[in-house]
A and B are shown apart, each in its own frame.
Chain A
Amino acid sequence: MEVKGTTISEVWSQSITRLLSEGKWVPTDRGLRALELCNMQLHVTEPLTQPRTPAQYPFSKQFIEEYANSLISEVVSTESVYNRLYNFGSKGLDQVSAVCDQLISSWSSRRAVLTTWDPTVDSQNTHPPCTIYLQLLVRGEKLNLTTVLRSNDAWLAAPVDMLALTNLQAHIASKLKIDVGSYSQLSVSYHLYEMDYLTASNFCKVGTP
């Protein structure tokens, strides 16, 4: 399943339409059912082009801004995705600096990989990270980002996840002094909880799957 477009907003809107028309209801750990598409690929060719935030996104600007900057603004908590990126594991690895060094030393590198998943902690973690893999590739003198999300709430989280991750992409691009390229995301479970179904289906004007 693949959705491709120019902006985050456009790709998200298309993905919701696809989810509502082709998704399957599945049980979830949280109780409420979810409409799910497995292995949803989202490709955004110009992730910084406006409108980045979909007009239909139901949460406030303050909420969006707080979330969108959560991977580039220092977070005090040691239990955060931010901390996993900049201070990973017992050695406190700064993965962001490491991938910058990697790419500066070899622009064609295929090893500029960041991970947030810590198997020693996350198998028992109540709230393990959803974004677990990030890979940066410099191609055509632009910095492309590919991410893998093990689980992605399409309605609440997908837009702000894309904002946060592409803000990180822009942050790294500025360190490398190159332009931002495309953004690609593989959501292994891309889902919409039934509490959001009515609002989402009114937004997309599609029938019950």
Chain B
Amino acid sequence: MKQSSESFDIMYTGSSEITLESWEKIIHALITYGERIWLHTSVSISKHIPNDLSRLISRTFNELKEDRLICTWDYEYSNNPSGYHLKTLHNEDIKALYSNVNYQIENYSAMGTLSGQELKGAEITSKIIQYRHELWNIGLASLLNISSICYDKSPTRMKGNYSSHYKYEIINKQYTENIFEQLEMPPVGFLSCLDIKEIRSRSETLRTRLAEPINSKMIEMPPCEDSIKTECDNIISELNSLISELAKDKSLRYLGKDITKESVIASLSVLMPSFALYTFADKMMLWLKGNRKYSFLFFALETKNRAFEKYSKAIKASSAEIYYKR
């Protein structure tokens, strides 16, 4: 079921072996803007992830596939009878895409420029190959009717001409990552399938709140990083105001606690280190569920609490050091 006009299907174009970092990106996309994430059938969890973590992620991966929040596609020529996938890219379409991509490559080569850079770089083929891959991925997404792309590494083309397929990568992800950083969100990659579904059900306000600035940034390409930061700062300020307002709300008094602004801030774990008042936060969450006005705050709290809990469990369960570079 479509969540809103501000969510879309996203094609993941990273390595066919999912690392902890790429899984983090996939889940981030899924809980913020992704209606579904599309992967090639060959994509699997990397063998280099420690066993205990790998089992955890594999279980979530399979559950998300069962719920069709993660979907798979394949090339017709693969002719893999055991492979289950929801979309197939037909050979004739592949051939047409192949010709089109090569045509584009030759045009750019003839112009002597590649992605706005000088073509004759340290390694000319490396640049051309990268450009081919970027065009290929955009073409694949179009043929598969997938509206946006999630990259493992930012493509060079994003700095030059734009495709609407970059919308998630260049706009939505930048906003949500900035907000997640400001909220000191723990990694979300260890959330369970159930967590992810419940958090997604609360993310509409986030998308709605960001719709206006995001749509305006799409007009003024390339978007200015400073303006994204300013807008995100505004959103965090709004959250602060909400917290202050919440602290003054008389209806909270039934919680039987002397509520000050500081205690609310602490309990919400939004601006301060998490879980100072965890039990109180549970009560607060119940209250927030009934107040639509605060649903973005609830989304932030829900995500942070669940992510922190699952991340802590994963750390305890694993002997390996978990390293993230968001």
Q: How many residues of B contact A (CB 8 A)?
A: 40
State A66–B113 Cα separation when bound (angstroms): 13
Q: How many residues of A contact B (CB 8 A)?
A: 43
Task: Indicate whether A204 reaches chain B with its CB closer than 8 angstroms.
Answer: no
In the A-B complex, the 8 residue pairs with the closest CB atoms: A127-B126, A157-B125, A27-B16, A127-B123, A27-B17, A27-B15, A31-B13, A79-B122
Residue among B14, B118, B120 facing the most chain A CB atoms (10 A cut-off): B120
State A63–B13 Cα separation when bound (angstroms): 28
Question: Can you pick out 17 interface pairs between chain A and chain B where the beta carbons lie within 8 Å of each other?
Answer: A31-B14, A31-B137, A32-B136, A33-B40, A60-B106, A67-B124, A67-B125, A70-B124, A79-B121, A80-B122, A81-B122, A127-B121, A128-B123, A130-B123, A130-B125, A194-B75, A198-B98
Q: Which of A27, A129, A208 contacts B79 (CB 8 A)?
A: A208
Is there contact, CB below 8 Å, between A63 and B16? no
Residues of A within 8 A of B110 (CB): 62-63
Is there contact, CB below 8 Å, between A130 and B126? yes
Task: Indicate whether A84 reaches chain B with its CB closer than 8 angstroms.
Answer: yes
Interface string of B92-114 (1 = CB under 8 A from A): 00110010011001100110000
Q: What is A's interface to B at a CB cutoff of 8 Å?
A: 25, 27-33, 58-60, 62-63, 66-67, 70, 75-77, 79-82, 84, 125, 127-130, 153, 156-157, 160-161, 193-199, 201, 208
Residue among B105, B110, B122, B152 facing the most chain A CB atoms (10 A cut-off): B122
State A77–B75 Cα separation when bound (angstroms): 39
Contacts across chains A and B counted by CB atoms under 8 Å: 108
Q: A30-B130, A208-B77 are in contact. Are A128 and B16 (CB under 8 A)?
A: no
State A58–B103 Cα separation when bound (angstroms): 10
7 further interface pairs, Cβ-Cβ under 8 Å (given A30-B129, A161-B125) = A63-B110, A67-B125, A70-B124, A80-B122, A125-B122, A127-B121, A197-B75
Is there contact, CB below 8 Å, between A25 and B133? no
State A194–B15 Cα separation when bound (angstroms): 13
